[in-house]
Structure 1
Amino acid sequence: MIDTHSHIYLPEFDEDRAEIIANAKKAGVQKVLMPNIDGQSIRSVISVEEEYPGFCYAMMGLHPTSVKGDYQEQLANTEYWLNQQEFIAVGEIGIDLYWDKTWEREQREVFRTQLKWAKKMGKPVVIHVRDAFEAVFQELDKVYDGTLKGVFHSFSGNKSQARRALEYQGFMLGINGIVTFKNSNLDKVLAEVGPERLMVETDAPYLAPVPYRGKRNQPAYLKHTLDKLADIFEVTPEQMNDLTTENAVRLFGLDV
């Protein structure tokens, strides 16, 4: 299994990170991919990658909820680090209008800028979208030319949004514990679009799947999301894992 989106570098794991990683390996997780948030998290995400080489992989990007008055400085810092060393993806980037629409114009600019960097560098993007599908599609359309690839992380949209997202060739849907939530309706959405372009993730420490909902999430819980997907598509968990792992390996250029 590959956890394609996990924040195990955050302070929530400082006390027991080694144990969390041991749990992940024991559960069958081969790799954990770690999206950056902003300037404050860069040192941590790089440090965890260095401590667990070949298992933890860092991305570099500026998260939309961190786009405030200092966004130009934050963006310049993100670009600096992208040019300092190798990262597997540009992420986590996107648009989030759930909490606050104050910085929508700046979020769009930051998102678009990072999409252009990714395209120029030939790296995949990891897109965060919350209450902002239309805005994300509008900005993607300005940059997308068939060469850009990536994933709509923590996908929880409706059927038309799922179909629209998959119109971008080379893009996947990242599925996490939300699919196990009773009233998410995500199972019905995914049944419509099929399993071919899905990947699995935890978004740890957030969005723990049933039966751990409400608790701190961790990569070892990935199996519960895979099991739910296997139920939806009436395949074995092993078959679902093979498909999602292959998608992750291909998108991020991983060695397995």
Structure 2
Amino acid sequence: MKLIDSHAHIYSEEFKEDQREAVVRAQEEGVDRIYMPNIDHTSIDAMLEAEAQFPEQCIPMMGLHPAYVNKDFERELYLVEEWLSRRKFAAVGECGIDLYWDKTFLPQQQEALKVQVELAKKHQLPVILHTRDAFDETYEIIAEAQDGTLRGIFHCFSGSVEQAEKVKELSFLMGIGGVSTFKNGGLDKLLLHLQLDDLVLETDCPYLAPAPYRGKRNEPVYVPIIARRVAELMNKPVEEVAEKTTHNALNLYKL
């Protein structure tokens, strides 16, 4: 099976000691490509170094993570814009709105998302959305900006059936990861109402490792575990899950 990790922080400090081994392990399990979302200016060098080491496997994006938006967010966005004009990236992201930890900078997060959505349109790139405790706030901005050209992923999706329908109406995909294996993750009910055409697979490593590795470092080699769980919940052959989600990711991220 050929699989894709559509969202992985393989460049993070957690992989400092064994990044090469982690990429090779994933390749041996059929994970062909690893798409890397950016966080802010501090993560760019490490992300591009991972690309340099594995140019066929580790593909970078460029964006500003909402949890790193603060009063100086405009300076970060200038840097994002500069990088997008300088070279090719697979997507704008990850960006969005995160209200889980702190609502202090909600207006700045909203403005940062709007700017990055316009950058995605300008560069004809997909946008990768982080929506923790903020689906409605994020959806409102994306729906207003959708003119038929905007595409992307609601990453780490674990919303309701109604929210999933809204995502589909926007012609966006949903990223499914390790939460699908959690006993009370809620995706068992949600996936019954979705089609494989709506989905891509992701790890969001080093976070959200699937069972039986929950609580440990996540890594791209676990994508097959997620594929098997999605196949089980949707009553589909795992080969079909792999084929469809790989097609969806490659079609979205075409460079």
- Classify the TM-score, shorter chain: over 0.9
Partner of residue 68 from structure 2, selected from 58, 66, 69:
66
Partner residue in 2 for 1:202: 203
- List alignment gaps of at least 5 residues for structure 1: none
Q: Does 1:112 align with 2:129?
A: no
Give the counterpart letter for 1:182 in structure 2.
K
Q: Is the 8 Å Cα contact of residues 143 and 170 (structure 2) preserved in structure 1?
A: no
Matched pairs, number: 253
In the TM superposition, 1:142-157 aligns within 5 A as: 142-157=144-159
TM-score relative to the length of structure 2: 0.97
Q: CA deviation at 1:195?
A: 2.3
In the TM superposition, 1:121-140 aligns within 5 A as: 121-140=123-142
Take 2:191 and 2:235, find their aligned partners in 1: how far apart are those partners? 12
Secondary structure at 2:169 match in 1 = coil
Give the counterpart letter for 1:21 in structure 2.
V
Q: Does 1:163 align with 2:161?
A: no
Give the counterpart letter for 1:253 in structure 2.
K
Take 1:11 and 1:57, find their aligned partners in 2: how far apart are those partners? 18
Q: CA deviation at 1:82?
A: 1.0
Take 1:193 and 1:30, find their aligned partners in 2: how far apart are those partners? 25
Q: CA deviation at 1:227?
A: 0.3
Give the counterpart letter for 1:102 in structure 2.
T
In the TM superposition, 1:39-54 aligns within 5 A as: 39-54=41-56
Take 1:85 and 1:195, find their aligned partners in 2: how far apart are those partners? 32
In the TM superposition, 1:232-243 aligns within 5 A as: 232-243=233-244
Take 1:85 and 1:119, find their aligned partners in 2: how far apart are those partners? 16
Give the counterpart letter for 1:80 in structure 2.
E
Q: Which moved more, 1:29-38 or 1:183-192?
A: 183-192
Q: Does 1:248 align with 2:249?
A: yes
Q: Does 1:90 align with 2:88?
A: no
Give the counterpart letter for 2:169 in structure 1.
E
- Structure 1 runs of 4+ off > 4 angstroms? none
Take 2:122 and 2:144, find their aligned partners in 1: how far apart are those partners? 14
Take 1:149 and 1:141, find their aligned partners in 2: how far apart are those partners? 11
Secondary structure at 1:49 match in 2 = helix
Take 1:197 and 1:28, find their aligned partners in 2: how far apart are those partners? 21
**Identity within the alignment, %:** 45
Q: CA deviation at 1:235?
A: 1.4
Take 2:207 and 2:143, find their aligned partners in 1: how far apart are those partners? 30
Q: CA deviation at 1:47?
A: 1.2
Give the counterpart letter for 1:147 in structure 2.
T
Secondary structure at 1:126 match in 2 = strand
